[in-house]
Amino acid sequence: MIIGILGAGKMAQMLVPKLVSAGHRVILSNSRGPASLEALVEQLGPGVSAAESTQMLVDADLVFLATPWEKTAAAVAAAGSWTGKTVIDTTNNRRGPRPVDLIDIGSRGSSEIVSELLPGAQVVKSFNYEPIPVFAAGLPPEGDSGAVFFSGDDASAKAKVAELIRDIGGEPIDAGTLAEGGKLHGMGGPLSLKLSLLPPKEARALLAAARLA
Ligand SMILES: NC(=O)c1ccc[n+]([C@@H]2O[C@H](COP(=O)([O-])OP(=O)(O)OC[C@H]3O[C@@H](n4cnc5c(N)ncnc54)[C@H](OP(=O)(O)O)[C@@H]3O)[C@@H](O)[C@H]2O)c1
């Protein structure tokens, strides 16, 4: 696939080598334009390019959102029409890692809010619930797979995302709808901040217990 990433910071740079190793092409974009990403693209190597977010969105089969929460609404609006796109929302409603950095968004899950910003897109939430180094270390190219929770409302988008998670060395664990699963593995949810990617059996048991709680 051609995979677009909106945002080219820590999350994007963790994902890119794994996506490229799995045979995908990646287009990075940010607010400052592709020239600002030249050195990064060179450093990341073959299979990676940079484009304006508008072009990235046209070309990509699937797009990761990897922007800071407070920049996300403007970033997605500037990129153009999201109709028909599968989107993996990695964003969290926080400014940083401390409890005080949490941004109050009321009772809805953050990806439900993001989904409303993307009319016509199929949004799947994933890669949000652990610090980036945990995903970096927990998705080995070979060997035992770390469990990766995902949630969403569209079955075909979820199947695409599950395949992508497998491609990069993870075991996809379907946590349910964006509303239900999104809260379970949203920041502060019972599936978040375990500080390692769990073995799949353990992850499924934790999910079942979280649903009953
Ligand atoms: N840090 C973690 O451990 C972690 C874990 C899970 C999830 N997350 C979530 O992942 C998301 C990204 O985090 P990060 O740590 O990768 O952030 P980051 O390193 O600060 O990178 C953010 C990227 O977004 C770009 N950006 C900012 N405004 C933009 C706009 N209007 N349009 C397009 N691009 C824009 C920035 O580039 P320019 O400023 O040059 O545009 C930068 O490349 C956040 O929502 C965060 O909560 C983070």
CB atoms under 10 Å from CB of 69, counted, come to 18
Distance 185 CA to ligand 1 centre (A): 19
What are the extents of the domains in the chain?
A: 2-212
Using CA atoms, how far apart are residues 16 and 27, in angstroms rounded to an integer? 9
Probe ligand 1: pick from 5, 30, 150, max atoms within 8 Å of CB? 30
CATH class (in words) of the domain with range 2-212? alpha beta
Amino acid 143: pLDDT: 63
Probe ligand 1: pick from 11, 98, 194, max atoms within 8 Å of CB? 11
Q: Indicate yes or no: pTM above 0.85.
A: yes
Amino acid 142: pLDDT: 67
Q: Is 71 in the pocket of ligand 1 (CB under 6 A)?
A: yes
Q: Is 94 in the pocket of ligand 1 (CB under 6 A)?
A: yes
Q: Is 68 in the pocket of ligand 1 (CB under 6 A)?
A: yes
Q: Is 11 in the pocket of ligand 1 (CB under 6 A)?
A: yes
Q: What percent of the chain has pLDDT over 90?
A: 94
Amino acid 17: pLDDT: 97
Lowest mean pLDDT among 10-24, 60-74, 133-147, 162-176: 133-147
pLDDT tens by residue, 148-186: 999 999 999 999 999 999 999 999 999 999 999 999 999
Question: Is the predicted pLDDT of residue 30 greater than 90, yes or no?
Answer: yes
Q: Is 86 in the pocket of ligand 1 (CB under 6 A)?
A: no
Shortest-distance Cα residue to atom 20 of ligand 1:
9
Instruction: Give backbone dihedrals phi and psi of 101, rounded to 5 degrees, phi first.
Output: -85, -5
Q: Is 34 in the pocket of ligand 1 (CB under 6 A)?
A: no
Using CA atoms, how far apart are residues 77 and 165, in angstroms rounded to an integer? 27
Atom in ligand 1 nearest the alpha carbon of residue 31: 41
The full 3-state SS of the chain, as one line of letters, equals: CEEEEECCCHHHHHHHHHHHHCCCEEEEECCCCHHHHHHHHHHHCCCEEECCHHHHHHHCCEEEECCCHHHHHHHHHHHCCCCCCEEEECCCCECCCCHHHECCCCCCCHHHHHHHCCCCCEEEEECCCCCHHHHHHHCCCCCCCEEEEEEECCHHHHHHHHHHHHHCCEEEEECCCCCHHHHHCCCCCCCCCCCCCCCHHHHHHHHHHHHHC
Using CA atoms, how far apart are residues 203 and 149, in angstroms rounded to an integer? 8
Q: What is the mean pLDDT of residues 76-82?
A: 98
pLDDT tens by residue, 119-149: 999 999 999 999 999 999 999 876 677 999 9
